[in-house]
Amino acid sequence: MLVTRNWAALMLGLCITTGVMADNDTARPQVADRVVAYSGTQGVKVWTLRYAERSANQALVQIEGVDHDWDKRIQQMTVEKTSKDTRYSTQVDGKKYVALIVQGNYGELYLPGEAQTASVGYDEGLSSQGNAQHFLTDYLEQSGK
């Protein structure tokens, strides 16, 4: 009888744990399958990943290789596509701030407080190194979500 109760308790615990783990997996936001990366002079790298449903027009953006507060920080940005370019913006001091403008395979990176822009170009090698699910995990851990 004691063995049966312990077995039942073990099975109940496994069912509860499995349910919680499955619930955590479904709670992850949807992202694109592929990270798109750009690189520029002096080691500047920009990583982008569609975040949430495509219709939400959101992306995760990480800038790397800059002497700035934004270095290596993953930020959620709004994506606006126009007839000639794609713009990634966020809020800075309560105002819309366009941080990246991409036209074709080339773009301009604008950092708050910096007078100069950084030119970047699409980088196939860097893009192929990116892992969308790892990028999402890093963002979720960084933002405490």
pLDDT of residue 41: 87
Written out in words, the top-level CATH class of the domain with range 36-143 is mainly beta
pLDDT tens across 9-48, in order? 555 555 554 444 444 555 899 999 999 999 998 899 999 9
The secondary structure element, H or E, covering residue 106 is strand 106-109
pLDDT (tens digit per residue) in 113-122: 999 999 999 9
Largest CA distance in the chain: 76
- How high is the pLDDT of residue 24? 52
Tell me which residue has tokens 């126009």.
82
Whole-number pLDDT of residue 18: 46
Is 21 in contact with 103 (CB distance < 8 Å)?
no
What's the rounded Cα separation, in Å, for the pair 61 and 59? 6
